[in-house]
Structure 1
């Protein structure tokens, strides 16, 4: 997260329709989600709940974040889009994280976790991105990834290879995603890839709120 991350944002943005018979007051549930997404560890978040006389397990708070189904909002029309794919490990298994960032705002536009990196999966990622945002006229900034370059070509997107320049600013975004994913894997050693993918969407939502 950015060094100046704060508890910005409105608690009403969290949809708790998934709640059925949860004994915790909804305001405290929303506060817990906000705290955890704002860099509080699960342990510290649980401690805050304790101040209000509510005792909950770390896994309970994690489930609240997971079930809230948070993800970056769509409808953006960026001039440039930096895309990247990087390998991460979950439960000693290797996955590939695809991510797209608006380099002018450093906001995450879309993320996806895949079990491999292929040209087909890269094309699918860009197809999902284009469904969420207006990127037809954007210039895509790619590194040496042949699969992403090929995917851009197949979709008819204007792209250029860029190792520095606008990509420098977004590299820290990609590094932070990778670092946080490692922490997620350490805290939830039995979590599956689908759960990790949902967590990444929540992280992307929080990142966009706090930058």
Structure 2
């Protein structure tokens, strides 16, 4: 699945960008929510996301790169996000946070920064439908892919298999995903691919970029 980040889009035309991505054949839209504290940048509030919700029927997911996910969760669900991704590093009581998201009626997911081991989420795999392995340090678009995260993706896949949840929980990767990196991530076990710069800067447009990434990932997983 191709999950574009709208971070590289023209912020004055976000609704148009969402619609263009939908027409290009993506599977969902990811919103990179940054609070200026957990990560340096400050991005999308819930009202901004809600203003684009009527531009597509595709699912929205919010990647909450924030220190206070419990305080923010309800607002992003009300804005139209059907999945919330929280960082294992950003909450003291991760089990409770994921449970709170489920109580709001959204799917709960957990993200791991590059330095965080998969063992940090070993005891919450029953509460999530997606694990995000960051392939850059979060906070900025356009960063270089960290290839040494591929063994970590495999480790997460092995954990899910051991827990009997490999067919139920997606593995997402985010950071530096492009034509020259997507095969490694997909071959390691990722099946949800977040891409931003590689889509918006493709010389042949969004549709060609989406098709290229999907084709390369599918071949790598064959």
What TM-score does the superposition give when structure 2 sets the normalisation length?
A: 0.28
What TM-score does the superposition give when structure 1 sets the normalisation length?
A: 0.29
Q: Which of structures 1 and 2 has the bigger CA Rg?
A: 1
